[in-house]
Structure 1
């Protein structure tokens, strides 16, 4: 234990005071120092220590008077020296208190140090650190204490302490307006760029994806480029942040820079993926997107020929979802799945290489001490206001808690007000609010002794892929969030009789587990108050209104052209278009297609996103017919359309993504609107536009289906999923 610094010539009074101090008897220690002052009034350390004893008793005013008394009648040079001595005494005790986690007392001591020396930057930084630990930090301290100005003006700074405080601030209050200025001020003192970059990169990822502030994340991570302007990893993150913030031109620009700086094959793959992502949300660039996709596919084939097994973990993470856009561009599942399976296999080989010990530990698990209840773990970053969150809640709600113990593993848990996320927190038996580190979450799954792990994200999230590749549970399943990942460690993929063709097992590495009726069911959706009216959109009351509400990724130009052909055949018709995308690019794209097909641009309406999902569903009622996308259908949007009893036209394909609407319509008892060719798609669109009686018939059938159809029976679906889990576990036990 560090002692208060005492005068070197220990008197018996000083020794007694020290003993009292160590025992926490500050009043007795103070009495000893008072006697010491009487005996040796010229020894200043008696004053410094007496003041400290008074301060520790809460007698702050008396402490200050004592210190001032010790400074009395001194020359300027003496007072300066005495001040240094007093600060040392207080600093020593403050550090001791911090070691003991007695932050309140440490903060009080440092506040007095601040009054004595208001420009002591190190002390001010410690004050900020203590405020964070005491959870009283607001961010205003960065300006009110004058910290930023001092950092900017001082030449010599404890850079390790400075970066430690920067990291603490970014963890505690990253969105405060002064944080960017504080981080920028730190730059001038950074001697080792990696120390700064390693703090900012994970913080900005959290800001962009957990706190949903990608613009601010971009501003912060750009500071790193001042230290290393050609750092590809930083540029990759920056491009992703801009794209997430819907600044597509900037994101595309940075992605192109990434590619120009890429020297390795794997860096080129990632750069092309980012570029493709930018193009995909801007349909006007679809031709370029196709070219970039082909280039990226060629690069992936070269990488697969090399088959490297020494890739770094962050490279493997990026690689997992590098083939993400294939099903948006083409309905060729054999080709798409072959490449995806090969990429996933390569990723798992590398995971098993760099996480060898963990993988081996998980493989050696035993089943001793198991309870009769099956432990089911659900893994996702979407257990919140997200399509997966809206759809999977019925399974969680209807689960039989007497037979199953439910664990929810939140990837990138969002510290924001999200009622649906809060709902999941309450409905799982056990929850784990994870971050973005795969190994931490995998270890928790292993420690919890999960029997069956259900991944709801597939390759929509690289972290989920790495967790599944580590195989922390004996039985692993992919369900709902996307097509199968192709990761060898995944045992099953949940499907149904419709969503995959009979031949699909030929090109799936996972065992396809077909539920008897549907792979998804919901009990319904919350519907708000509509905000759209025909008259406010300048649409006549007797017009036929078509609608498409999908993000830019899904707007394949071939299908969009078919939609224009439908519109042309129904003269008194209008087309409503909305969804996440590059708004200007989407408008240019559709206006050009309309012109080419001889449809007046005045018949198109481009709608902003609604304020909530419930309002979006209510606004669907403005449509007479919804036109689905292809080769990537709607999923949640299809369910919402059918729940609102609106006729839907869908084009069925071969891949999972091209058969979602098909299975949902079949499980709602509707065959009208299911097209197997482009010609049938147009025919159904025209027929439904012309035949109001048919539209009403479909609406009535959909309304009646709410009481009878498998699609709207979450409880029955849950029983079928539970039966599947039991059978999967039995197969595993029989080995």
Structure 2
């Protein structure tokens, strides 16, 4: 029974905090009976009823005094109730009792639907509680409208930016995000906060979630605040190109180059420009001049050493080299420049690690203790998924002898997408490590796992992998499959075979070339789907000779296309199918111009659309009688697929690794028909195979028979040869200790 107003309120508060709602509500009910005109009692009693799950009773309690209020009193009392509920919501949030806080804030929203800070709190709580139906109601709430209309009101900018950050982190692909980010722009206290949040989110969305269009849209928003932010422009150019918006990607890269000042920044901007031009295809003159400019700036960079660079600029030094072998076959000249840049990269990365107290030197115990120990083999890659490396490396993982080798796999920038090949690798990876994009963290993990031999499957195609290799977290480090050798001094070996590198290659490679006895790659085969291409759909006669080239725009070299057109011209009733991602109109103009120069009717050319299934792509290769390879950068996966499908191939052999892939694959399939050592031989083989149907059938039969006999199709034998190489590498290592 209430006898003292002061004491009963203290007692009621204690009951409330102790969640003894029954006793607290009895006290408030008695207080209302004694002082029915003290309105605050109704607010507290209603809150207690709400927390007991009696929402209807709580609302009736709050409404009871409201029915007799005039307009002025109603506003005052509404504000009082709002404050009572607000205090309780904040208390529950502080206690991490998010469900209760969410419930209270929902009732605040009923009292004042336009209180924007409360809406923001509800969104944060909904994300924590995974109540995504609230997020779907965003448009009904009018949040974006409120933000756009109330830029001068009491919106908490800190709270708003926290909501945007949580949205981009937890539901990055939600359709409201772009509008929400745009509405938040005026509330950022400075441009750097926008830069940090939007760029971090765009990198995840564009690279990890593979949504470059949304990523580029986010970065475009930041450009409104800083139109000349070079870092934003770099990533924006990449996302445009990844989304196959080549014209914008090229223009953005040009702008990036014009704004770049340091030599390292100029090197990377030229890389971005080449990346766009070559992906689009058809910009040959600008590709050549840009390539010359890149080599000149690289030479200036080498001569200007030492140059102090922070980590981000160091990481960008190697990937620009990727373009040059697509343009010319000059490995001695190319590697003279690239190896020096790789050495600078290696030294700078190691110095950076040492400045942070990192030391990855392992104390190897006496060799005899390794006699009974499994060798620990680590594979590191971002491409163990629906990617050429993913398709080709799987047989090694499948056939590994787990009794002799302890396998660890390091998935760099693991893709948060549905990818059955990536899922397959997780089951075959031994110990799988799902990792992000921090080179030091990845190197720490490899070092802690005490990996004996670390195999790099990415080479220079991913900067983070290059950083890890330069840190030398394993005593023996090897590059295989992903590209040519990276030239990083911390890498000991480069896996090759008798054919894929010429005999004198060791003269210009910093890594020791380890030649496997037969082939540097083997697969047990490929899945083949149902074809979607027919000759009659393409308006090609049934008796025509069909040539095909299926490569990215990167590999389209005008000199090779001239040879291909000369072949088409010489073979009556022949057609040429061109397939591969590129800027459609530009690549068509490119081919049409060369065709006209060589006297070939453009009606004999067909441009094929992309298909989304690898197995259907392989089935569609069967429409071709002959496949014409690219030069100076051959096919690799496409060559293997062509040979597996039993289709004759014409390839031109060069000096560099990229110009000898098809050569080694054909040799290891037991086929020499179609291997050309000169430009003239390439044309001769193309014409001969086109005119001689019996020869084509003979090659097709040999390829079909090779499936049971050839080293190229024996993944198990190849795996044993790789394992033997690992054991020999380790033996050499411990003998030197």
Normalising by structure 1, we get a TM-score of 0.94
Is the aligned partner of 1:678 residue 2:691? no
* Displacement after TM superposition at 1:357 (Å): 5.0
1:113-143 deviation per Cα after TM superposition (whole angstroms, max 9, x unaligned) = 2112211111111111122222232653331
Is the aligned partner of 1:395 residue 2:396? yes
Match of 1:141 in 2: 137
* Displacement after TM superposition at 1:489 (Å): 2.1
* Displacement after TM superposition at 1:282 (Å): 3.6
Match of 2:568 in 1: 567
Q: Distance in 2 between matches of 1:394 and 1:342?
A: 35
Q: Distance in 2 between matches of 1:111 and 1:651?
A: 70
1:345-398 deviation per Cα after TM superposition (whole angstroms, max 9, x unaligned) = 222222223332557332357779999333322222211111111111111111
Q: Distance in 2 between matches of 1:651 and 1:580?
A: 22
Match of 1:235 in 2: 233
Is the aligned partner of 1:480 residue 2:481? yes
Partner secondary structure for residue 480 of structure 1: coil
Q: 1:286 to 1:367 in 2, by over 3 A?
A: farther
Match of 1:304 in 2: 302
Q: Distance in 2 between matches of 1:446 and 1:38?
A: 73
Give 1:584-663 correspondences, 5 Å limit. Answer: 584-663=585-664
Q: Distance in 2 between matches of 1:513 and 1:240?
A: 35
Match of 1:3 in 2: none
Give 1:411-430 correspondences, 5 Å limit. Answer: 411-430=412-431
Number of residue-to-residue matches in the alignment: 727
Higher alpha-carbon deviation: 374-383 or 159-168 = 374-383
* Displacement after TM superposition at 1:218 (Å): 1.8
Higher alpha-carbon deviation: 502-511 or 223-232 = 502-511
Q: Distance in 2 between matches of 1:22 and 1:733?
A: 68
> Is contact 1:48-1:70 (8 Å) kept?
no
Q: 1:96 to 1:729 in 2, by over 3 A?
A: farther
Match of 1:376 in 2: 377
Q: Distance in 2 between matches of 1:493 and 1:358?
A: 30
> Is contact 1:309-1:350 (8 Å) kept?
no
Match of 2:175 in 1: 177
* Displacement after TM superposition at 1:36 (Å): 4.6
Match of 2:510 in 1: 509
> Is contact 1:125-1:165 (8 Å) kept?
yes
> Is contact 2:362-2:475 (8 Å) kept?
no
Q: Distance in 2 between matches of 1:41 and 1:510?
A: 89
Q: Distance in 1 between matches of 2:531 and 2:286?
A: 38
> Is contact 2:546-2:626 (8 Å) kept?
yes
Match of 2:271 in 1: 273
Partner secondary structure for residue 433 of structure 2: strand
Q: Distance in 2 between matches of 1:593 and 1:125?
A: 60
Higher alpha-carbon deviation: 279-288 or 318-327 = 279-288
* Displacement after TM superposition at 1:75 (Å): 5.2
Q: Distance in 2 between matches of 1:730 and 1:20?
A: 74
Partner secondary structure for residue 646 of structure 1: coil
> Is contact 2:650-2:674 (8 Å) kept?
yes
> Is contact 1:236-1:258 (8 Å) kept?
yes
Is the aligned partner of 1:211 residue 2:206? no
* Displacement after TM superposition at 1:42 (Å): 5.3
Q: Distance in 2 between matches of 1:523 and 1:431?
A: 24
> Is contact 1:14-1:36 (8 Å) kept?
no
1:143-181 deviation per Cα after TM superposition (whole angstroms, max 9, x unaligned) = 122111111111132222111111211122233332211
Partner secondary structure for residue 600 of structure 2: coil
1:212-243 deviation per Cα after TM superposition (whole angstroms, max 9, x unaligned) = 32222222211111000111111111111111
Higher alpha-carbon deviation: 223-232 or 452-461 = 452-461
Higher alpha-carbon deviation: 154-163 or 227-236 = 154-163
Q: 1:330 to 1:97 in 2, by over 3 A?
A: same
Q: Distance in 2 between matches of 1:424 and 1:410?
A: 10
Structure 2 residue aligned with 1:112, among 102, 107, 116? Answer: 107
Partner secondary structure for residue 224 of structure 2: helix
* Displacement after TM superposition at 1:594 (Å): 1.2
Structure 2 residue aligned with 1:123, among 118, 121, 135? Answer: 118
* Displacement after TM superposition at 1:322 (Å): 1.6
Q: Distance in 2 between matches of 1:437 and 1:669?
A: 44
Q: 1:475 to 1:10 in 2, by over 3 A?
A: farther
Partner secondary structure for residue 609 of structure 1: coil
Match of 2:551 in 1: 550
Partner secondary structure for residue 477 of structure 1: strand
* Displacement after TM superposition at 1:11 (Å): 3.8
* Displacement after TM superposition at 1:608 (Å): 0.9
Match of 1:432 in 2: 433
Q: Distance in 2 between matches of 1:308 and 1:151?
A: 50
Q: Distance in 2 between matches of 1:128 and 1:166?
A: 10
Give 1:149-160 correspondences, 5 Å limit. Answer: 149-154=145-150, 155-156=152-153, 157-160=155-158
Superposed CA RMSD in Å reads 2.3
Match of 2:721 in 1: 720
> Is contact 2:498-2:516 (8 Å) kept?
yes
Match of 1:48 in 2: 43
1:65-102 deviation per Cα after TM superposition (whole angstroms, max 9, x unaligned) = 23334656455455444444433343343334334443
> Is contact 1:631-1:657 (8 Å) kept?
yes
Q: Distance in 1 between matches of 2:604 and 2:441?
A: 53
Partner secondary structure for residue 149 of structure 1: helix
Q: Distance in 2 between matches of 1:308 and 1:41?
A: 83
Structure 2 residue aligned with 1:97, among 92, 95, 102? Answer: 92
* Displacement after TM superposition at 1:54 (Å): 2.4
Higher alpha-carbon deviation: 622-631 or 264-273 = 264-273
* Displacement after TM superposition at 1:194 (Å): 0.8
Q: 1:365 to 1:160 in 2, by over 3 A?
A: farther
Structure 2 residue aligned with 1:191, among 189, 192, 207? Answer: 189
Q: 1:307 to 1:49 in 2, by over 3 A?
A: farther
Higher alpha-carbon deviation: 531-540 or 23-32 = 23-32
> Is contact 1:309-1:353 (8 Å) kept?
no
* Displacement after TM superposition at 1:510 (Å): 1.7
Q: Distance in 2 between matches of 1:60 and 1:298?
A: 74
Match of 1:409 in 2: 410
Partner secondary structure for residue 406 of structure 1: strand
1:542-561 deviation per Cα after TM superposition (whole angstroms, max 9, x unaligned) = 22111100011111111111
Partner secondary structure for residue 360 of structure 2: helix
> Is contact 1:27-1:54 (8 Å) kept?
no
Q: 1:623 to 1:120 in 2, by over 3 A?
A: same
Q: 1:97 to 1:565 in 2, by over 3 A?
A: same
Higher alpha-carbon deviation: 98-107 or 161-170 = 98-107
Higher alpha-carbon deviation: 69-78 or 644-653 = 69-78
Q: 1:47 to 1:582 in 2, by over 3 A?
A: same
Q: Distance in 2 between matches of 1:342 and 1:278?
A: 25
Higher alpha-carbon deviation: 432-441 or 230-239 = 432-441
> Is contact 1:359-1:470 (8 Å) kept?
no
> Is contact 1:352-1:359 (8 Å) kept?
no
- Give the unaligned 5+ runs of structure 2: none
- Give the unaligned 5+ runs of structure 1: 1-8
Q: Distance in 2 between matches of 1:121 and 1:317?
A: 43
Q: Distance in 2 between matches of 1:365 and 1:64?
A: 71
* Displacement after TM superposition at 1:720 (Å): 1.7
Q: Distance in 2 between matches of 1:232 and 1:430?
A: 40
Higher alpha-carbon deviation: 240-249 or 423-432 = 423-432
1:267-299 deviation per Cα after TM superposition (whole angstroms, max 9, x unaligned) = 222221111112212432112111111111111
Structure 2 residue aligned with 1:295, among 285, 293, 296? Answer: 293
Q: Distance in 2 between matches of 1:471 and 1:24?
A: 58
Partner secondary structure for residue 453 of structure 1: strand
